[in-house]
Amino acid sequence: MATSNIQVIDRTVSVLDVLMRYSSPVRLKVVSAETGLNVATAHRILNALVANALVRKVGSGEYQVEAKLFRLYSHRSSNAEIIKSALPIMKSLRDQVGTAINLAVREGDSLKFIHCELPSQNLLAYHPVNSLAALHTTSIGKLILGFEGRDAILKYCERTNIRKHTPNSVQSVEALVDESIMSYRRGYGCDEQENELGVCCIGSLIFDDSGFPAAGLSASSSSLRFDAGWADRIVTACAQIEQTLKQTKHNH
């Protein structure tokens, strides 16, 4: 394994390399032996990785790589694959509901829209490609926050101060926690003029092989045309995109 001039990074990579070679949890003594690090040093590095949700401690003294790490490895190259897999399904969904269909991914504390399928009409209620929106004001963003859970939502609120974008934007930290977790549990989220007045969205998540949200799909329309009944079709479309992504990776 190549080394750098930063010892702590070299040691951390060596620990991760050991963990990723095993499909089952690895004991601390095994990590120590295979990396050549003493037990105390290996333990400190593992604790830091656990604190950053890159490694999970299982039982007593065993460790396993978290799915988040695989997401970090694959994130930058995934957008093109997601768009390719989603495109025909998005077109079909657009024709079914007659409104704009948006594909988005997380970028920091924002949601980045990477593709949009527009109907022949209703051209005003959509998210332009490469535009950003705050997680807490979007249907997909709330689902991502709900997936991460209460502690992560509280940290998000501390970082962003959950700034209001419209009078309908979430009013408090607890309201965001409750709505995000509830939305994630039911499988879809709503934005009722919270990001832009006059525009409503309903969305669901697309999960990768590791069980993490790779992207989200939403239907956006004017508030007058908005129909919560679109939820089932959006959830189904997300499941279809997940299957297409899995087949694509399998074929590669």
User: 149, 206 in Cβ contact below 8 A?
Assistant: no
CATH 3.30.450.40 matches 74-251: yes
Contact 201, 102 (CB under 8 A): yes
Quote the pTM value: 0.73
Lowest-confidence region among 5-19, 171-185, 199-213? 5-19
Q: What is the pLDDT of residue 157?
A: 93
Q: Is the pLDDT of residue 72 over 70?
A: no
HSE-CB of 102 using CA atoms within 13 angstroms: 28
Cβ atoms of residues 165 and 137 within 8 Å: yes
pLDDT digits (tens, 9 = 90+) for 150-169: 988 998 998 889 989 999 99
- The pLDDT assigned to 20 comes to 79
pLDDT at 76: 44
Closest CA to 141 of 106, 173, 114: 106
Is the pLDDT at 127 greater than 90? The verdict is no
CATH topology of domain 7-65: Arc Repressor Mutant, subunit A (1.10.10)
What is residue 215's predicted lDDT score, i.e. its pLDDT? 94
Can you give the residue ranges of every domain in the chain?
7-65, 74-251
Q: What element of type H or E holds 101?
A: strand 100-107
Distance of CA 81 to the CA centre of its chain: 15
